[in-house]
Amino acid sequence: MGVPRTIGIGLQKAWYRAKVSQRTKLQKTDIEYGIGYASKAYLSQMLGASKDGVAVPSYIGDIWDAILERAIAEKPKSDSAASHFMVLPKNEAKLKLLNMFFVVHLLTGGRTTKKEKASRSLYAIDYGICLEYRLGYGDDKNVLRQQRFAYDDSLAQFDKFFQIHEEVMYVCPTCKAVYSETDLMVKGQMLKFCMNDKSDLQRLHHDPTALKYTEEEIKIIGSIRSSGPNDRLTARQVADDVGCYVQKVAKFGERLDREEIIDRQKLETLGKHIYFNPDMDADPSQADEAEES
């Protein structure tokens, strides 16, 4: 995982699990629980930030789904692990945000498969996610260089989002159809909805990696928008998961509340504000766990 804060989160949650079980020594299962907690927190940040394309493009979640589904499909084909994959340089931009959220990790460039000599970059799916989906975690270079772990064909469907167009382009957040302004002109008026499902269109920026918010702010948005009111998410919890100051979460959260991107309210039983996505239904059983942590 590579960063001290992430290791700290993993150890903190591992120790919490051991204490709940009234043990004074960490076990392997405790460590795996802590690693899994960190991985789920980062994945939730990414999916929360991509909801409705508020902080990052909504199709980022679709890119992640394509990679995960491919890895799950590859795992049963042999006894080897499906933790790593390779992509051509042209596809690295599609993985930039996944790498930023630590759900995948760029390891090295210049890899080739056994069948092709094209230079590819080698990525690893985060270890905690590999544990959750039982993908294994490989280190055999001969296995990693197999042609089946070249995922370029799985990412080809997202090429349309990364092409440079002379016209302003729009994307449907529901069916992912992409339109030019010319396509949307009807009797001198431009349609603002998708012709397939009537969803409101979103403008597709020329540079999909150009972001409105800083990395820190994006992760704050993602943490909050992946939580419901019953999760009782406090600024302290967001700060711990993101790795920033509590004051930053409180101040930025107040701004997001004014802009109606998130909701916050003072919870008298905690004596603190809680932050949440008002459109998300939370599981009430998660409330006690959130309060204990």
| CATH code of residue 235 | 1.10.10
Residue 191 token pair = 């349609």
Q: Number of structural domains, the chain?
A: 3
Spatial separation of the C-alpha atoms in residues 138 and 124, rounded to whole Å? 9
Of 154, 33, 146, nearest to 104 by C-alpha is 154
DSSP 8-state symbol, 182:
H
Instruction: Please write the tens of the pLDDT for every residue from 169-194.
Output: 888 888 888 888 888 988 888 898 99
Q: pLDDT per position in the chain (293 positions), as tens? A: 457 878 888 999 999 999 999 999 999 999 999 999 999 999 999 999 998 888 998 899 999 999 999 999 999 887 779 999 999 999 999 999 999 999 999 999 888 888 888 899 999 999 999 999 999 998 888 888 899 999 999 999 998 888 766 677 888 888 888 888 888 988 888 898 998 999 998 877 655 556 789 999 999 999 999 999 999 999 999 998 898 999 999 999 999 999 999 999 998 888 899 999 988 764 444 444 444 44
Residue 63 sits in the same domain as residue 50: no
| DSSP secondary structure string for all residues of 28-65 | HHHHHHHHHHHHHHHHHHHHHHHGGGSSS-THHHHHHH
Residue 85 sits in the same domain as residue 144: yes
Could you tell me the CA-to-CA distances from 151 to 32, 80, 112, 284 in Å, in that order?
Answer: 27, 17, 13, 39
Range of the domain at 189: 165-204
> How far, in whole angstroms, is CA 177 from its chain's centroid?
22
Residue 89 sits in the same domain as residue 12: no
Q: What is the pLDDT of residue 165?
A: 60
Nearest 5°: phi and psi at 266? -80, 125
| DSSP secondary structure string for all residues of 86-141 | EE-GGGGGGGHHHHHTTSEEEEEEEE--SS----EEEEEE-HHHHHHHT------H
DSSP 8-state symbol, 189:
E
Residue 111 sits in the same domain as residue 42: no
Residue 46 sits in the same domain as residue 63: no
Residue 147 sits in the same domain as residue 230: no
Spatial separation of the C-alpha atoms in residues 283 and 289, rounded to whole Å? 11
